[in-house]
Amino acid sequence: MKIQGINGAAGIAIGKAFVLPSWEWDLPDQKMDSVDLAQEFERLYEGIRTSKDEIEYIKNEFKEVVGPEESSIFDAHLAILEDPVFMNEIRGIIERQYKAAEVAVKEAIDHFVTMFDLLEDEYMKERAIDIKDVGNRLLKHLLGAPEITLPSDTQPYVLVAKELSPSQLAHLNPTHVLGIVTLIGGKTSHSAIMARALGIPLVSGLEASLGMPVETGDMLVVDGDNGLVFTDPDRKTIERYTMLRSKQLKKKEQLQVLATVDAVTKDGAVLHLASNISSVKELDLALKQGAKGVGLFRTEFLYMDRATFPGEQEQYEVYRLVAEKTAGQSVVIRTLDIGGDKQLDYFELPEEDNPFLGYRAIRISLDRKDLFKTQLTAILRASAAGNVKIMYPMISSVEELQQANEILREAMSDLDERGLSYDPHIQVGIMIEVPAAVMIADLLAEEADFFSIGTNDLVQYVLAVDRMNEQIAHMYHPYHPAVLRMLRATADAAHTAGIDVSVCGEMAGDERAIPLWLELGIRHLSMSPQSLLRVKHRVLNTTASAAKEEARKCFALRTSGDIEERLQVFNDSTGSPDEQSGSNAS
């Protein structure tokens, strides 16, 4: 049986299932005739202290495996135990309803989980799992319940669970767990983030179609690339995925030798392939894949999964570390880009009918000058340690760019007064991701040091299509003629002004687009670490003159379907790692 889910972490797993039991709390929902409030509060506080100690221990253990960024997920768990709203709810139930501490905790968990489940924002909905995780830990200590453990003395297995908490994932041994299947969860859940860090394939979101008919010992195939799970697979399916997994491993080995090779076409055109990152851990992976610096550092992830905004020193230390690790290569740090699909638990944004057209990105930064100036100061300080650049998101007018630069100058003056070093000639660029910016690209090029085209948002805004809306997602076409014209207009304006232009959206990691970049004179691309070697392989096996000719034909076509088809045919003609020797790699 083939079941479609959500591709939480890439990879293929084939093996027998181990079904993880869920926490079940059978608690009496009744008032106590006589309750010692002081005793119940003491039990509660002791449970909280023990839970905090345990979370700190798990965090430190997990940090040794995946690094500080991913392990900081547990800071959010500590914050829940200190959250006054959550704790007041528990205390109120004990005090006003005369219920035992464990009953109060359970009712509070249920209350907040229900609230989060009703939210439309997927990121916020998935925080319900964190509340349950913390609540279950607290209940475990209040009731003296044993930990739910995973087998470590069996053959490697596919872990199946209704939902998998970060605490449970932190205890996983990747050598024992081939893959993970969960009924609840999505791409932005903490469990998905941790599974990706551990390199374990994960498919989630199967609740509607699967229920829980899988039993321990059942054979499963997990396709984390496409979000598919096969229960009781037939021999052909197992053979097909076994072969596919072998091919993936072979291709990975073949591509890895390209890490130290420059991306140069057969006729000498050079492309600079940098990486998009959200953490230091991701930078380490990018550098192993041969990234030429960081083309986009998404700083908003420093602000997530915590209780308050990060301070100047905390941000500075992260930015400085990234600058040092890149050893003189360019690091483009994008200022805070929240709003739309990116929310912060502790920063309440207004409810909007059209959040993607509302209070977000640079608009928030200019409105909250205190937060913006703190971040700019931290970035400036880090510029003394490497080749750091600043990039503003969602600029749509010259005025916005000028206002942002004025605050930057204030931050520079403050650092001068404090006697702290920074690069006084730091380059400042902008994201080109709204049509207005494209239409005045010539004016913006007079004020900016560089452009970076964010194709993800640009395509959505140009076509008026929300690609997360299932009813119209089929209308999201990155190769729409209108998008190609926007790319050309932006590149032309940058070249005329003599400033650099790069691409940092998903199109940068699509090897089919290489002919377009060559024709447009765009030589800097920034993509996910996982895309670097694949794109580099295509560049090495491409002849720039032929690619440009193909691109010119694409610019003359009238439909996105025709453009995609032509680019796909050209892309296929360059071969795959299995078909090409990659002679340019020597």
Catalytic residues: 190, 504
Helix (H, G, I), strand (E, B) or coil at 32: coil
Which of 238, 230, 133 is CA-nearest to residue 190? 133
CA separation for the pair 101, 41 (Å, rounded): 7
Asked if residues 152 and 176 have their Cβ atoms less than 8 Å apart, the reply is yes
Phi first, then psi: what are they for 366, rounded to 5°? -70, -30
CA separation for the pair 483, 464 (Å, rounded): 12
CA separation for the pair 490, 431 (Å, rounded): 11
**Location of structure tokens 């440009």:** 548
The DSSP line for 129-194 is: HHHHHHHHHHHHHHHTPPPP---SSSS-EEEEES---HHHHHT--TTTEEEEEESS--TTSHHHHH
- Chain CA centroid to CA 485, Å: 29
What type of residue is 361? A
Helix (H, G, I), strand (E, B) or coil at 109: helix
Kindly state the DSSP code that residue 586 receives in the 8-state scheme. -
Residue 176: CB partners within 8 Å, gap ≥ 6? 150, 151, 152, 154, 156, 157
Asked if residues 567 and 482 have their Cβ atoms less than 8 Å apart, the reply is no
Both tokens assigned to 235:
């021999």
Q: Go through 2-35 and write b for each residue having 16 or more CB atoms within 10 A of its CB, e for each that does not.
A: ebbbbbbbbbbbbbebbbbeeeebebeeeeeeeb
